Chain A
Amino acid sequence: ETGVTQTPRHLVMGMTNKKSLKCEQHLGHNAMYWYKQSAKKPLELMFVYNFKEQTENNSVPSRFSPECPNSSHLFLHLHTLQPEDSALYLCASSQDSTGQYFGPGTRLTVT
């Protein structure tokens, strides 16, 4: 596998479910990110990890919980989500302040 991979690609979950999104980067980068992309809105940065330490939490509700066990893997744990959380969740990685490379995203639908 090359680049940035994400699983699952599609997820439908109820408001009481708990699920996790997974991201893996094979680029040797030191920073990883979670973004949310909703229709007709710009990408919203959610979390930043640099050398697996969280350096940014962009006022994200606690029903989203990130985990970065090492610099190649990033998880987003989801619980008691709301329908308005339905969106495309994108993972990205970068080396220092160079451009970021995105994974294909997980399209999440909360019912």
Chain B
Amino acid sequence: RKEVEQDPGPFNVPEGATVAFNCTYSNSASQSFFWYRQDCRKEPKLLMSVYSSGNEDGRFTAQLNRASQYISLLIRDSKLSDSATYLCVANFGNEKLTFGTGTRLTIIP
């Protein structure tokens, strides 16, 4: 089983729609979680951290479910500029981040 698992997609979503990604992790001792976005041929950029209580940043909402070992990312009112690959990341300790393979999202005009 992969340490961090994501549906690779692609997700093709019309502009303005709401889209949600889930990600599961295998290590119950994981300490912190993040969502990154990566545009084609660019470096990953930190989108948001994920906290146990859930957190929101504008149109983006992240949730963590420790009991079921998954995290989610919800994007509301999607924009064309949201097209990217979204990487789910878990910190298993000692600053060692483990990345999922990413979910590709394309927003269609």
Q: State whether these chains interact.
A: yes
A residues within 8 Å of B by Cβ?
31, 33, 40-43, 45, 48, 50, 55-56, 90, 94, 96-105
B81 is an interface residue with CB less than 8 A from chain A: no
- Cβ–Cβ < 8 Å partners of A40 in chain B: 101
Q: Give B36-57 as 1s and 0s: 1 = Cβ < 8 Å from A's Cβ atoms.
A: 1000001111100100000000
With A48-B95, A98-B49 known, 6 other A-B pairs at CB within 8 A are A43-B99, A48-B96, A55-B95, A56-B94, A97-B31, A102-B43
- Cβ–Cβ < 8 Å partners of A45 in chain B: 96-98
Residues of chain B at interface, number, CB under 8 A = 22
| A–B pairs, 17, beta carbons within 8 Å | A33-B95, A42-B4, A42-B87, A42-B99, A42-B101, A45-B96, A45-B98, A48-B95, A55-B95, A56-B96, A90-B43, A99-B34, A99-B36, A100-B46, A102-B44, A102-B45, A104-B43
Most buried by A among B44, B45, B49, B98: B44
Q: How far is the CA of A38 from the CA of B87 in the complex (A)?
A: 15
* Cβ-closest 7 pairs across A and B: A102-B43, A43-B99, A99-B46, A42-B99, A42-B101, A99-B34, A31-B95
